[in-house]
Amino acid sequence: MRKLVLTIISSLFILSCNDDDDITVKLGTGNQLGDNSGGSSASVYYTPTSTLKGTATFPIGVAMSQNQAGSANFTAIASKEFNSVTAGNEMKFSTHSPAQGTYNWAPGDAIVNFAKTNNMRLHGHTLIWHQQVPTWVTNFSGTNAEFEAAIKSYVTEVVTHYKGKVASWDVVNEALNEDGSLRSTIFSQKLGSNYITKVFQWARAADPTAKLFYNDYNLESNITKANAAIALANANSTLIDGIGLQMHISITTPSATVLNTIMDNVVATGKLIHFSELDVIVNPNGSVSSYDYATALTQKNKYKEVFGIYKTKVPSAQRFGITVWGMRDVDSWLKVNGNNFNDYPLLFGDNYEYKIAHQGVIEALK
């Protein structure tokens, strides 16, 4: 995939706050568009007869915000289609701990309550990441030993707070460069080159039952980086339970050949495998001005391809599941952080219409 945006801020996820509960949830009455293949008319939306979670043999997740937890429309779709949720921002470092030793649990607890109320698994995202870090961390003036004690305390406090509520964690996020080397961050600089192992040790001690993941972008398309993540997981075999491939992809990349090759290598680790932040952009070059049927069909086929490869390649014991990074197109992190308002990367339209991309997923899962 082109890395112009995704390699910089691929996980920075700002869910939309304009979740209007007076919008009627729409099933298949979307825009009728001219069919470029010769048919008289076709729709980018459809009326489903099956649900994602009802069709899949592994968990299907969605990223969400605290605001959406109070939305009747979001809840109606989420509880019907998904059985796992990930907090988009509410469990990140800057949200949890705006000041050293001070914790803001309300946003994360709102996601916990949503998951519990709707009988959904909760995946924690993320404990340590070089972005969305509070200023007390970036401006830390103490010794490296004091910094390590502070970070250990933070990880321990957070994981302990959610023990028994959060089933799994992205413990370390995006720690590798594209060439597979360790990214230089405040954590590597102050905690040392083995900081990833330390953080996993702290998380494991705080909640021995939680599944612990290393999570990163471009693992589905960059074989060198994927192999580095695999080596990291193998080197910490008793600490790292799974690998999260973010899957911020496009309608053209990665190719099925590349993804299949990488999946063979990841599966060989025996670790749990999570497609953790899936979206499929349709406008990687900025040339798409509208979401027409031809574009929607291409996106449908890419979603179908990705889910099909996961179902075919990943043994059932290693299927942690697939999480889409938002519900509606208007909720996508790309709308703000990608500066790409002409993109439509998710499974539902802005008014909760079921896109034919959803149909493609159902077809792959059957």
Q: How many CB atoms lie within 10 A of CB 31?
A: 14
Which of 81, 277, 305, 353 is catalytic? The answer is: 277
Contact (Cβ atoms closer than 8 angstroms) between residue 336 and residue 14: yes
Contact (Cβ atoms closer than 8 angstroms) between residue 329 and residue 350: yes
Alpha-carbon distances of 296 from 35, 180, 217, 359, rounded to whole Å: 11, 34, 24, 11
Alpha-carbon distances of 309 from 79, 131, 143, 145, 266, rounded to whole Å: 25, 31, 48, 45, 13
174 is an active site residue:
yes
> Quick one: which of 357, 358, 359, 248 has its CA closest to 299?
357
The sign one gets for the Cα dihedral 142, 144, 149, 154 is positive
Which of 81, 148, 174, 353 is catalytic? The answer is: 174
The sign one gets for the Cα dihedral 232, 224, 215, 128 is positive
Q: Which amino acid is at 160?
A: T
Q: Do the strands 84-87 and 168-173 form a parallel or antiparallel pair, or are they unpaired?
A: unpaired
Alpha-carbon distances of 156 from 109, 152, 201, 207, 349, rounded to whole Å: 17, 6, 10, 9, 39
Q: For residue 87, list its beta bridge partners.
A: 64
Alpha-carbon distances of 163 from 107, 180, 233, 314, 330, rounded to whole Å: 16, 32, 23, 28, 33
Report the SS3 class of residue 54. Answer: helix
Q: For residue 76, give both structure tokens.
A: 């109606």
Burial 137-151 (b: 16+ CB within 10 A, else e): beebeeeeeebbebb
148 is an active site residue:
no
What does DSSP assign to residue 4? T
Q: How many CB atoms lie within 10 A of CB 33?
A: 18
What does DSSP assign to residue 249? E
Active site residues: 174, 277
